[in-house]
Structure 1
Amino acid sequence: MRTCLLPCLLSVMLASTPVAAQDATDAARALARDAIIVDTHIDAPGILSSRWADLGVEAPDREFDYPRAREGGLDVAWMAIYTSARQDDNGTARQAAHAQIDSVEALVQRHPDKFAILTSPRDIERLRQGGRVLLPLTMENAGPLEGDLSQLQVFFDRGIRYITLAHSAANRLSDSSYGVERKWNGLSGFGREVVAEMNRLGIIVDVSHISDAAAEQVIALSTTPVIASHSAFRHFTPGFERNISDELAKAVAAGGGVIQIPFGTAFVDPRAAEVLQARFRARAEFDQRNAARVAAGEPPEDRAAFEEAFNRENPAPTETPLSSVLDQIDYGVQLVGIDHLGIGSDFDGVGGELAEGLRSVADFPNLVAGLQARGYSDADIRKLLGENLLRVWHAVEDGAEAR
């Protein structure tokens, strides 16, 4: 276990001083370029499907694009194929997922010199030659399976290599950490079948977003290591089930898995976490009201007006220091050890509500500089940046091959 090597004054300085990309030290930029940086959660595909942008060139309204990825040293950017609970309910989730995969493939076909789809960690060195940014695919919410186990093979063949079992509400597989309703008290029978089939195929199981009971059952059932792809520690946000508890984090680590720390303020800032929980509760109530109105033959309420009113009445913090992310890492190292942590930024997925100095994929050197300032060795920083996650991915592949 690492103990802090610098006085507490340094943490105060980091918390109070704004950080910009150009502030990173030469040593931090050099390590970010040389290390393999793996970010397990970037929400670019959903935006690509709804509003195309050429991410092979600078895209100022996005947080991920090729020029900034190279500036920040990002090598492996997991593309999140996200579908909502509403799409689960109305039967459009599967089509939406395939459309998003199509959009990532179109990006790669447009820029084969800049991007490549990645389906195995064994291909990293070969595919990243020439400066390519590699794009493995993840399914955020297993709704597109639509209760059909055979669809796992279909999505595996399309490149999906980890799956977040549920998102903001219970689905056919699992309860959600956000959901008021606990439909399954953890996993459903189908959810248990899905975990076993994911193990067989070599798809990583992700316990972010699901309820504590479901996560506990996944960890017990899975024959290969699991991950929390973008979850911070609940220690800092008491009562926020979306973040991982100490007990579950220890269980993930005991099975060889990793906890990937996000940069979104809602995960690392207690006040922002309260606002996010309130938003999901309000949305659930709004959807229930609208369903009742439609059933009664009345027009539904306007969703955009609801969202605008909620945001006006529940302002989230506008400034969260980079030190909040560093504190998460420090805590995780003390709790589960350096070998069980990584990065899952949630870029393009939190509406720009990100810690200072970590506002786009260009900013990884700032994280490296902060870790170096707190006394982490370059070898340990390399583990956090990507080596730990790649170890897990290899183990999941090996577990599938051993069957």
Structure 2
Amino acid sequence: MGQQRGRRRRSGGAGTTLTALLILGAGMPVLLGGPAGAQEPATPVIDRFSETVRYGRAGEIHGRLRGGSMGGEVRLQRRVQTQPWATIDTKSVDGEGRVRWRLLGLRRTASYRLAVTQEASGGVVTSDRVRIYVAPVPVLDRATRATRFRGRVIVAGHLRGGLRGQRVGLQRSLAGRAWRALGTQRAGRNARVRFRLGHPTKTARYRLIFIKESPRVRVASRSARSVVKPKLVVRLHPRNVFEGHRVVVAGKLLPKVAGRRMTIQLRTGGRWKTLARPSVGDRHFRTNLRPARTGRIRLRARFSGDRLNPSAAGARRLAVYRPSPATYYGPGFYGNRTACGQSLHTSTPGVAHKTLPCGTRVAILYGGRTVTVRVIDRGPYGAANWDLTGATARRLGFSGRGYIGVIVGGGSSGGRAAV
């Protein structure tokens, strides 16, 4: 130790020493030297940062001072594209030499670095620079809320914070399943996009997505639901039937989805009464009914809806006729006036009945043909209940005696609906 002090005295100078070699114990050399009280220069280091931030969101930068004293100030500098570096904030490090920034409302991709000024030399020491990528956010402006089967769906939106030419994708999810890509477009003027989808068959949710591979970015918009109405076709055969005879209710439901069922219902007493629940196999359904009452009745086939399509129904009228014996008259009576005051001719349509008021409408079914006429006369006066005029008998193909179907005050019905 004395030798170390002596050598320092011989060196002279204001607070400087020469490097000394001390021999300790076993003779191991230890080098000591440098300016008295000198410390390693403080170097700023960025430990972690937000590599990718959505447009308008906050990003973070965490750093520290390596070496030097634990005090001091650190500047955060930013550079946008080719612009010069600019200081945006200054903070003092904490007791552990650490510093943290939370950057609010980021709108532009930029490079960042930390900088400190050395007190002794006045020089500036900077950290390595890092880049925070501000990803544009796709915004779904509108989507078709409902459309018919194989209609059209429009999905439109824009990139908030985006640029013209950036690529935007469209995705679809069916019944809560995974999102699947449908296609991409480059953003146009004002960073807007518009997708047009033809022939949709099922209800789905749609969303826009911005995708970038380097850095890897996936930013999706909110989703919107577009309802696709199913196509329901209902047929009745025959449309006009005698009481107690078979009626076939058939049709098809699109799109084809396994496990679906239809509900066949009858309108009675102001309510719908369920008659059958046929399954929809390979898009088609079919069931048989035997109406037990006469008149014009309403039947409908109803699909209750599921996650892929909403409910749908197709209603049709069925004419159920009561069988009744009939004859026809005419020759020998033409040119005379009927009991209801009408002149009878070969072309006069009508029917004679014993009690129904004159002018009552009567629907008649015979041989698959139907006609609606009025009561114009009284009769017949035999075993039959009805007397048809010659014109009415010719229209029905009625030969002279037999059973006809009758609905008093009714008429025939149509038998097909497409919804």
TM class, shorter-chain normalised?
under 0.3
Q: Which structure ranks higher in relative contact order (CA pairs < 8 Å, sequence separation ≥ 6)?
A: 1
Name whichever structure is richer in strand by fraction: 2
Q: TM-score, normalised by structure 2?
A: 0.16
Which has the greater radius of gyration? 2
More helix by share: 1
